[in-house]
Amino acid sequence: MSYSAVWTFFALMFGGYLLSLTFKETIEDNFDERLNGLLENLIGISSSNSDGQVSFYRAMVDPRFEQPYSGWYWQISAEDQEPFRSRSLWDQSLEPDLQNPAFQSRFSIISGPEDQQLRMVEKDVAIPGDPTVFRFTVAIDRSEINDQLDQFDNILIYSLSALGLGLIAASFLQIYLGLKPLRNIRLSLQKIRTGEAVHLPEDFPTEIQPLADELNALLDHNNQIIDRSRTQVGNLAHALKTPLAVLSNESALNKGDLSELVGKQSEMMRRQVDHYLRRARMAASTKIMTSRTETVPVLQDICRAMARIYSDKKFSFLPTGEPSRLLFRGERQDLEEMVGNLIENAAKWSKSKVIISCMREGESIIIQVADDGPGIDKQERDSVFMRGERLDENTPGTGLGLSIVKDLTALYGGKIYLMDNEPHGLLARLLLPAVYISP
């Protein structure tokens, strides 16, 4: 910005100087031409009589030649003769240098009466019928053009200054306005990072829109990469689970050392596969900038699914507030896993009712799952989160459910609380980060 200001300043200075010079030259040329014209006029109206006296056919037109010390003077001189001069010269002489012949109009600057600075033009002319060479001279006070030049210079300075300021202001404005879309892009990207938006908007000026489009494409590309790796992870799970099922089934159906070994090892494999797959999925989750999930549809889906399986229990889902504000700042799969495990747990253990609620409090989404089952003793509440631990060996299930919930919750920086439900049962309270929504 400052470079352009300095550059503008110097350019204008230089330009102004050139303009001034050019104008001065033009004015001076015009002036000289005028002088020359007057000189020719003077020559033209002169004639000499036999005494060597010069006289005029007609008078010099301009009345200023008649006013004393007006600044407009003419003089006709010859050697050894009293010069014939204008009335304006009065008693002064222009003092031409007669020794120096002037075959053509010669211009010079002399000082005249009353310290006037005069522009003088002189020429030697022989009037027909007279052998004497007369020096014709016309001089005009330069102050005429000086005023014009000064006036021009003033106008020039004012207008160039104004132009300069205007240009500088314009360049500032242009830069500010030009960068504004970039600032908008920055703000939009911030929104994407906080999960408030998914894409850059499409309403940028035409110069910037290609950049925004590229950024959007990059975001999509990123998400695709993550989706692809997540799909691969899912594919791995799918591919391994059937062989593992076959192995563990076979070992259960047969007796013997080999069977037992196969059974133990395939169980180990299954645990490791689950463990690392989950971790891979979690690693992918934290990379996604733009994850946002509507909690209401997810809770509805799972509620419906559980109601179908546990058709003898009653499920109620009570969301509070606008569903569009109940946005979880994370991946749908992870929310499904957390919520699914909690609700399924509640369904298994409940006597007859499961109540699920969902609300937003500031920057958090709060999901509560309450059942009317036996609940969990305070002392044992910590241990249910331990991997693979189950309180009741008789209820089928892998028992890993709650530990998965705890891992995922921690990953998102959320919290899970287990509390007593009234009059009996368990209340699971899940706190998760919400997508920032500008008020």
Partner 1 sequence: MRLLLVEDDPDLSRQMKAILEGDGYAVDVSMDGEDGHFLGETESYDTIVLDLGLPIMDGVSVLTKWRGAGISTPVLILTARDGWSEKVAGLDAGADDYVTKPFKIEELLARVRALIRRAAGQASPELTCGKVTLNTNSSKVTVDGMPIRLTAQEYKLLSYMMHHPEKIISRTELTEHIYDQDFDRDSNTIEVFVTRVRKKLGVAIINTIRGLGYQLVDPEEQKTQ
Question: What is the distance between the alpha carbons of residues 52 and 36, in angstroms, rounded to a whole number?
Answer: 24
Could you tell me which residues are beta bridge partners of residue 429? 368, 417
Size of the site for partner 1 (CB under 8 A): 35
CB of residue 253 to partner 1, shortest distance in Å: 6
CB of residue 295 to partner 1, shortest distance in Å: 14
SS3 at position 406? helix
Instruction: Tell me which residues in 362-421 interact with partner 1 (CB under 8 A).
Output: 396-397
Among positions 165, 252, 391, 410, the unique one binding partner 1 when judged by CB under 8 A: 252
Return the number of the residue (177 or 246) whose C-beta is nearest partner 1.
246
- The DSSP-derived string for 316-359 is EEEE-S-GGG-EESS-HHHHHHHHHHHHHHHHHH-SSEEEEEEE
CB of residue 275 to partner 1, shortest distance in Å: 12
What is the four-CA torsion angle of 293, 299, 301, 302, rounded to 10 degrees?
Answer: 120
Residue 308 found at the interface with partner 1 (CB under 8 A): yes
Q: Would you state the structure tokens that stand for residue 367, as one six-digit string? A: 């999901």
Return the number of the residue (28 or 336) whose C-beta is nearest partner 1.
336
Span between the terminal Cα atoms of the chain, in Å: 37
Peptide bond preceding 423: is omega within 30 degrees of 0, i.e. cis? yes
- Sequence-ordered list of residues with C-beta below 8 angstroms from that of 277, at least 6 positions apart, any chain: 233, 236, 237
Return the number of the residue (313 or 406) whose C-beta is nearest partner 1.
313
> 217-244: b or e for each residue (b if 16 or more CB lie within 10 Å)?
eebeeebeebeeebeebeeeeeeeeeee
Instruction: Tell me which residues in 49-78 interact with partner 1 (CB under 8 A).
Output: none
Binding span for partner 1 by CB under 8 A among 150-158, 198-206, 238-246, 375-383: 238-246
Cα separation values, 411 from 120, 328, 339, Å: 97, 13, 15
What mask, x for binding partner 1 by CB under 8 A, covers residues 266 to 305?
x---x---x--xx--x-------------------xx-xx
Return the number of the residue (27 or 277) whose C-beta is nearest partner 1.
277
CB of residue 230 to partner 1, shortest distance in Å: 10
Residue 232 found at the interface with partner 1 (CB under 8 A): no
Binding span for partner 1 by CB under 8 A among 49-57, 209-217, 234-242, 286-294: 234-242
Q: Note the residue count of the chain.
A: 439
CA atoms within 13 A on the CB side of 381: 16
389: region left, alpha or beta (phi > 0 left; psi from -120 to 50 alpha): beta
CB of residue 232 to partner 1, shortest distance in Å: 13
CB of residue 315 to partner 1, shortest distance in Å: 13
Residue 340 found at the interface with partner 1 (CB under 8 A): yes
Return the number of the residue (157 or 252) whose C-beta is nearest partner 1.
252
Residue 173 found at the interface with partner 1 (CB under 8 A): no
Could you tell me which residues are beta bridge partners of residue 369? 356, 428
CB of residue 338 to partner 1, shortest distance in Å: 10
- Point out which residues bind partner 1 (CB under 8 A): 234, 237-238, 241-242, 244-250, 252-253, 266, 270, 274, 277-278, 281, 301-302, 304-305, 308-309, 311-312, 332-333, 336-337, 340, 396-397
